[in-house]
Amino acid sequence: MKKKLLLISLMIMILALTLPAVTVLAAPPTQSGGQDYVIVADDWLSKLADKFLGDILSYPAITYYTNQKNAEDSSYAKIKNSDEIEVGWKVYIPSKEEADAYFKKQVSNVGAAGGIKIGALAPLSAPGSVTGGTAMKAAFEIALDEINAAGGVLGKPVQLVLVDTEGLPERGTAAMERLINQDKVVGVVGEYHSAVGLTAKEVAHANHMPTIFAETWNDKITSVEYPEVFRIAPVSSEVAGVDAHFIQSLGVKSVVIMTENTGYGIPAAEETTKRLADLGISATTFSADLGTQEFSSIIERIKAANPDLILVLLTGETSYNFEEQAAEAGIGPQDVKMICNQVADDSDSFWTNVPDGKNCFYRRVGLPRALYTDATKAFVAKYTEKTGKTSAESYAMEAYDSLKLMAQAINEAKSTDPDAIISALEHISYNGALGTITFPYGTHNPIPAGTDAKWWHQFPKPAITMVQYQEKGQSSADAAVVFPDAYKTADPILP
């Protein structure tokens, strides 16, 4: 037995001396980048965000990076709604560093650190209305400077936490959750897209967060009668009524509505169709996704419909794409009566993107220039100096007023307690760029029987006019007011 052991030992020694040395390799380093993933049953993006990124609220980063990959490689899914994914889709799970970079890019803190935090929502990147979002950002900054110059709120400076919603509903949810649970804001203001507002309001309600929406028109924003939700933008159904009566005044008998597949576009088209029908005017609706760039096939179908007027309910840069392509195809505002989207009020951006936009009508919300208050004039002066524009768009005024309104409510409440702020907003009288803002109906004064629930916490008197670019390259400050008669400065020019 001892001889066998000795023999084995000698053989091991010989092998050790004759075989080449073997290096023991360490485990490979963890990959710093993200990874591809194929969706299986029972997956959802928030679950994947929790598993791979350690944060259930990081799912918008998966959507964003997957769509970026899709733009270069069609084997990746194109995610239109983060809540709707399919088994077999290939998605990209970003690294923690990539996700952090994405959210860092989406959030900006303005004002003194350590002050009272107020959250703000705005679309600052596509597919949202970047034109609208950047205007709102400039207006927020003006309001913030004024608030802090006047002593802030409750004797402390205000810090504004501005989140880019990209115009996407899921971003509205994620943005509100982050503002409330991570940034610990005491109130939220802003937003441009109704689709975002519809999801954001649910988070506001669930977390009892006072929120003032600036430019979200969908009736359901307020008709749900949430104590936390207020709005200073007009109500979509009321705007539809203005549109219908203006269209009637032009002698139109048939209309094509070009709308977007969002929580704003579809209900607005449906309500406008009803209002037009009441006036004996027929309407046909075509729709496209927010962010669509190519409209040639739809334009051919619109040509076949041969309408008297085209009403554009697409928003932001998507509306510019359609309006110029329609003009190039011979059905633009110089060929067929056309009501363009209200981002036409940014005249520099409009003429850059829609050089054939002469004779375009568009809707303007807010006081006509002849009725500007001292507060309106003061804001417009600061805004035009800051941006280099010749006038201030309605959504800029709304953003400005929403933040100033929230600050006034907190000061009048003498507290950051949400119930105190909500009560102060219900009883407030605020004089701003849009005029004197009040909220007649709420818990303090229930909506009377027979009155539509959409008036809950709703500013009831935002002025709505129709204006027209009657010269190529015309400044929005000089655009003619053509409706209603009370504010009219010129007759409409028709093709």
| Average of per-residue pLDDT across 265-273 | 97
Question: What pLDDT does 1 receive?
Answer: 38
Per-residue pLDDT of 339-392, as tens digits, reads 999 999 999 999 999 999 999 999 998 888 888 999 999 999 999 999 999 999
| Average of per-residue pLDDT across 466-482 | 96
Question: What pLDDT does 111 receive?
Answer: 67
Q: Look at the pTM and tell me if it is higher than 0.85.
A: no
Domain boundaries, the chain: 35-94, 105-236+381-455, 237-365+464-487
Confidence of residue 32 (pLDDT cuts 50, 70, 90): low
Q: Is the dihedral of CA 262, 235, 121, 130 positive or negative?
A: positive
As a whole-number percent, the residues of the chain with pLDDT over 70 amount to: 92
**Model confidence at 238: pLDDT above 50:** yes
Contacts of 3 (CB under 8 A, 6+ apart): none
Element of type H or E holding 312: strand 309-312
| Average of per-residue pLDDT across 45-52 | 89
Per-residue pLDDT of 388-408, as tens digits, reads 999 999 999 999 999 999 999
In this structure, whether the domain defined by 237-365+464-487 belongs to CATH 3.40.50.2300 is answered with: yes
Confidence of residue 59 (pLDDT cuts 50, 70, 90): confident
**Model confidence at 52: pLDDT above 80:** yes
In the structure encoding, which two tokens stand for residue 485, read together?
């008669």
CATH for 35-94 (1.20.200.10, 1.10.3720.10, 3.10.350.10, 3.40.50.720): 3.10.350.10
CATH for 105-236+381-455 (3.40.50.2300, 3.50.50.60, 3.40.47.10, 3.40.50.150): 3.40.50.2300
**Phi (first) and psi of residue 161, to 5 degrees:** -105, 105
Question: What pLDDT does 29 receive?
Answer: 32
**CA–CA gap between residue 285 and residue 476 (Å, rounded):** 28
**Phi (first) and psi of residue 286, to 5 degrees:** -120, 150
**Model confidence at 154: pLDDT above 90:** yes
Per-residue pLDDT of 295-341, as tens digits, reads 999 999 999 999 999 999 999 999 999 999 999 999 999 999 999 99
- In sequence order, what E strands does 196-251 have? 211-213, 229-231
User: If we measure between CA atoms, which residue out of 420, 441, 492, 430 comes closest to residue 210?
Assistant: 420
Question: What pLDDT does 112 receive?
Answer: 63
**CA–CA gap between residue 268 and residue 264 (Å, rounded):** 6
Q: What's the mean pLDDT when you consider all of the chain?
A: 90
User: Which region among 3-7, 109-113, 361-365, 381-385 has the lowest average model confidence (pLDDT)?
Assistant: 3-7
Per-residue pLDDT of 179-202, as tens digits, reads 999 999 999 999 999 999 999 999
Question: What pLDDT does 78 receive?
Answer: 87
**Model confidence at 31: pLDDT above 90:** no
Element of type H or E holding 270: helix 265-278
105-236+381-455 and 237-365+464-487: identical CATH topology: yes
**Model confidence at 15: pLDDT above 60:** no
Determine the angle formed by the axes of helices 316-328 and 296-305, rounding to 10 degrees.
60
Count of helix runs (H) and strand runs (E) in the chain? 16, 17
**CA–CA gap between residue 329 and residue 150 (Å, rounded):** 53
Taking a C-beta distance cutoff of 8 angstroms, is the pair 482, 245 a contact? no
